[in-house]
């Protein structure tokens, strides 16, 4: 499919927030419908679920892809469901591991004008147009976040979860950053800039953990998310 054709198919997806005006009250019904569908579907899930974030651009032979797949498979072996953004890269890896472990593989796919297409390893798909609706579903129905190396979207999801916990809008839950070589630079910056200048407190550094090994991630979740 040409780039022009892809743009034509997704032109309503682009700049959807800019196009909202006070006269577009009908859009509220579409937003409400996304919330209702998400709540109704995900509230039926009785097992605890873990969200795995990461770059949509990670290829299948990348060590991060392989590790996300392994983490996911190990978690479903212990009875956890897996939630991802439903797209390619790390999301595909996590959904794939869940399917290989014969577990619940949830994909909360977002309509984008480029890059995002649903992967084939999802057995419970949901589609969203609005990021903020999708984010509520991640936060409400996940009991732990595993953050693999990713781009702006992954960082957005990470910092939003940290902010909601810090401000006590949601109860604390495990947030795990996987890959010290990727995350340590960010962690050092948080300490050197935010903590040292008093913009966050010492307790905020306890909101997340950094691990490298698959089994360390899995066992930390098992200890902190008990069912």
pLDDT band at 227 (very low <50, low <70, confident <90, very high): confident
Q: Is 180 inside any structural domain?
A: yes
> Quick one: pLDDT at residue 16?
59
Any domain includes 10: no
Find the range with the poorest average confidence among 14-18, 47-51, 149-153.
14-18
What is the domain range of residue 102?
17-224
- Concatenated DSSP letters of the chain: --HHHHHHHTTTTTTTTTT--TT-THHHHHHHHHHHHHHHHHTT--S-EEEEE--TT--TTSHHHHHHHHHHHHHHHTT-EEEE-SSSTHHHHHHHHHHHTT--EEEEEE--SSS----S--SEEEEES-HHHHHHHHHHH-SEEEE-S--HHHHHHHHHHHHHHHTTSS----EEEE-HHHHHHHHHHIIIIIITTTSS-GGGGGG-EEE-SHHHHHHHHHHHS--
Residue 12 lies in a domain: no
Is residue 2 situated within a structural domain? no
Give pLDDT, residue 18. Answer: 64
CB 184 within 8 A of CB 90: no
In the chain, % of residues over pLDDT 90? 81
The tokens for 13 are: 């997806």
Instruction: With respect to residue 199, please indicate whether it lies within any of the assigned structural domains.
Output: yes
Q: Taking residues 47-67, what's their average pLDDT?
A: 97
Token pair listed for 81? 């469901």
Give the range among 1-10, 18-27, 147-156, 192-201 with minimum mean pLDDT.
1-10
Task: Identify the band that residue 118 occupies on the pLDDT scale cut at 50, 70 and 90.
Answer: confident
Give Rg (Cα) of the chain: 18
- 7 found inside a domain: no
Residues counted in the chain: 227
CA distance linking residue 52 with residue 214, whole number of Å: 13
Contact 38, 178 (CB under 8 A): no
pTM (two decimals)? 0.87
The reply to whether 152 falls in a domain is yes
Q: Which residue has the higher pLDDT, 8 or 147?
A: 147
Count Cα atoms within 13 angstroms, Cβ side, for 7.
Answer: 3
Number of domains in the chain: 1
> Looking at residue 139, which CATH number applies to its domain?
3.40.50.450
Mean pLDDT of 53-78: 97
pLDDT digits (tens, 9 = 90+) for 189-217: 999 999 999 999 999 999 999 999 999 99
Share of the chain above pLDDT 70, in %: 87
Q: Is residue 166 part of a domain?
A: yes
């Amino acid at each position: 499919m040409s780039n022009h054709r892809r743009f034509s198919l997704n032109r309503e997806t682009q700049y959807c927030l800019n196009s909202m005006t006070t006269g577009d009250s009908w859009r509220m019904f579409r937003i409400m419908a996304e919330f209702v569908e998400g709540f109704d579907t995900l509230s039926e899930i009785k097992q605890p679920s873990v969200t795995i974030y990461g770059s949509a651009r990670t290829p299948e032979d990348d060590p991060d892809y392989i590790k996300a797949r392994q983490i996911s498979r190990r978690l479903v072996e212990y009875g956890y469901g897996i939630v991802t953004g439903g797209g390619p890269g790390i999301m595909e890896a996590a959904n794939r591991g869940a399917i290989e472990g014969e577990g619940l593989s949830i994909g909360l796919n977002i309509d984008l004008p480029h890059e995002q297409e649903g992967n084939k390893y999802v057995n419970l798909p949901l589609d969203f147009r609005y990021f903020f609706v999708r984010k509520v579903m991640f936060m409400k129905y996940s009991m732990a976040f595993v953050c693999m190396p990713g781009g702006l979207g992954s960082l957005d999801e990470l910092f939003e979860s940290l902010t909601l916990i810090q401000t006590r809008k949601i109860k604390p839950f495990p947030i795990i950053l996987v890959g010290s070589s990727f995350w340590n630079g960010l962690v050092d910056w948080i300490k050197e800039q935010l903590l040292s200048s008093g913009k966050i407190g010492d307790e905020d550094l306890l909101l997340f953990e950094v691990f490298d090994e698959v089994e360390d991630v899995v066992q930390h979740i098992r200890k902190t998310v008990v069912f």
